[in-house]
């Protein structure tokens, strides 16, 4: 826990807890930025201010655990479930012009 911030409002006193980010959170942020594991290690080490040698084992463990199948586009997911493809027809209506 890094600090607590106390504020007063009309409902009473509120206490907000501020925690320092963890290494796992930094690696998750790096995974959102790049798919390259070495790039993730570099980004996470810079975010945390730690050497890459300390970040590498944790990043490799998390990247192996979070290997998820790639998401399919919505149209492929619908067809993969066995549903028939749906046809959508879009017609454009011209605006009504009022003659004066």
Please give the structure tokens belonging to residue 43.
Answer: 């980004």
Contact 81, 75 (CB under 8 A): no
Query: What is the number of domains present in the chain?
Result: 1
The mean pLDDT value for 39-53 works out to 94
pTM for this structure? 0.53
Neighbouring residues of 32: CB distance < 8 A, sequence distance ≥ 6? none
DSSP string, 20-32: PPPHHHHHHHHHH
**41 domain-assigned:** yes
- Domain of residue 8, residue span: 3-67
Beta bridge partners of 5: 16
**90 domain-assigned:** no
**18 domain-assigned:** yes
| Residue, of 4 and 20, whose pLDDT is higher | 20
**22 domain-assigned:** yes
**84 domain-assigned:** no
- The Cα 41–Cα 63 span in angstroms is 10
Per the prediction, the chain carries an average pLDDT of: 80
Residue 47: pLDDT band (50, 70, 90) is very high
pLDDT at 16: 83
**47 domain-assigned:** yes
Instruction: Work out the number of other CB atoms within 10 angstroms of the CB of residue 72.
Output: 11
**80 domain-assigned:** no
Residue 97: pLDDT band (50, 70, 90) is confident
Per-residue pLDDT of 56-93, as tens digits, reads: 999 999 887 766 556 656 555 555 555 566 677 888 88
**35 domain-assigned:** yes
The mean pLDDT value for 35-48 works out to 93
């Amino acid at each position: 826990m890094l600090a607590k911030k106390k504020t007063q409002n009309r409902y009473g006193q509120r206490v907000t807890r501020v925690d320092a980010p963890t290494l796992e959170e930094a690696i998750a942020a790096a995974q959102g930025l790049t798919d390259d594991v070495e790039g993730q290690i570099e980004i996470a080490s810079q975010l945390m201010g730690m050497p890459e040698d300390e970040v590498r084992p944790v990043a490799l463990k998390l990247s192996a655990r979070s290997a998820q199948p790639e998401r399919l586009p919505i149209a492929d997911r619908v067809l993969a479930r066995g549903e028939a493809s749906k046809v959508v027809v879009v017609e454009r209506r011209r605006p009504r012009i009022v003659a004066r």
